[in-house]
Amino acid sequence: MAKILILGGTGETGSWFARYFKEKGFDVAVWGPSGKVAVAERLGVRYAHDRMTEVESSDIVLVSVLIEKTVEVIREVAPHMHPGSLLMDVTSVKSEPMKAMKTFAPKGVEVLGTHPMFGPTMPSLCGQTVILTPAEGKSGKWLPVIRSLFESDGAKIEVLDADEHDEIMAVVQALTHFAYIGIGATLKSLNFDVQKSRKFMSPVYEIMIDFLGRILDQNPELYASIQKNPKAMRVRQTFVTECMRLCESADAGNLEGFKQIMRDAAEHYGGTHEALERSDRIINGRIRESK
């Protein structure tokens, strides 16, 4: 039976993977910086009271701590792992964690960056995307094992290098979260009555508001840490610049300028009609639910 230690395994994402690997027959141990032994008991797994001893004997060490703590934890534990074992992370930023894993993992220890593109509320891997970031020459044994394990449960696997991953996630995660949280902050600043507005909303507005609520219901610490993606600053600044360009056109009554910005964005987007059809199916599904 393979042994896996999940560092940060008492948190939400770590606990998800603790349950997952336990169901797969692994001998699972968890450790968390706040020492929540009760979480391990609830999960039915061991708590790693002696973290380094557990690191030394584990076949897989999975790092699931906050992004800003990830490199520090890797630096502490990687040198103690034994040849033939695997060091993984599940953070949403890859460049720095991958660099740290390759730097501090001893000879014979493989490394694999992993980014599950779903939250801990999801019941299974089925239909979910998992991004894998292998290290050349240091993922040969374990990459096919982990890939096969996840794919056997219906996950869609994508393989990216660390820099490309962070560039894409700066938009897919950091920008979209930033925009939604910005809308939420605007509603708060306006003292806008969200619940009252539900009486007047279209299905499109209702779906948007529910997605906003979904984001706002999550752990602020996690969502703040996602903004630490090194590629995200330029993306945020570009977003704010474009918002100001739109605002200036609207405020000046320059409707033609506003329309041109929208036309240019639509041309770059491509496939807008297909997106309209896909979103219509979602909207019609919501309408059927409400009947």
Q: What is the pLDDT of residues 67-108, one digit of tens each?
A: 999 999 999 999 999 999 999 999 999 999 999 999 999 999
Tokens representing residue 11 in the block: 């948190």
Q: Tell me, yes or no, if the pTM score tops 0.85.
A: yes
Q: Is the pLDDT of residue 58 over 70?
A: yes
Cα dihedral sign for 37, 38, 42, 44?
positive
Task: Return d(Cα 130, Cα 144) in angstroms, integer.
Answer: 14
Task: Return d(Cα 120, Cα 124) in angstroms, integer.
Answer: 9
- Mean of pLDDT values over 249-257: 97
Task: Return d(Cα 45, Cα 240) in angstroms, integer.
Answer: 46
Q: Give the per-residue pLDDT at 203.
A: 86
Residue 222: C-alpha distances to residues 93, 97, 186, 219 (Å): 12, 16, 21, 5
Q: Give residue 270's region: left, alpha or beta (phi > 0; psi -120 to 50).
A: left
Q: Give the per-residue pLDDT at 284.
A: 86
Q: Which residue has the tokens 């610490």?
A: 221
Q: Is the pLDDT of residue 282 over 90?
A: no
Q: Give the per-residue pLDDT at 287.
A: 79
- 155 secondary structure, DSSP code: P
